[in-house]
Amino acid sequence: MFKPDKAKAIWDRFEFVYTPKHGSWLNMAEIEFVRKEISA
């Protein structure tokens, strides 16, 4: 097990996004691509 501060640092790397069951992987890839474009 991790110490609490280490565990929090690892947990914060993950971003949970709601994806509808009918969303395809291509749609999710497109969303991710757009997010990277906006943040760049």
Per-residue pLDDT of 1-40, as tens digits, reads 778 898 888 888 887 776 666 667 677 778 888 888 777 6
Q: How confident is the model at residue 32, as a pLDDT?
A: 81
| Overall number of domains in the chain | 1
Residue 9: per-residue pLDDT: 86
Closest CA to 19 of 34, 8, 7, 29: 29
State how far the alpha carbon of 12 is from the alpha carbons of 6, 19, 20, 21, 37, in Å: 10, 19, 23, 25, 21
Please state whether the predicted TM-score (pTM) of the whole model is above 0.75.
no
H/E segment holding residue 26: helix 25-39
Q: Which domain holds residue 27?
A: 4-39
What pLDDT shows up at residue 1? Answer: 76
pLDDT of residue 20: 65
pLDDT (0 to 100) of residue 22: 66
What span, in angstroms and rounded, lies between the C-alpha atoms of 10 and 6?
Answer: 6
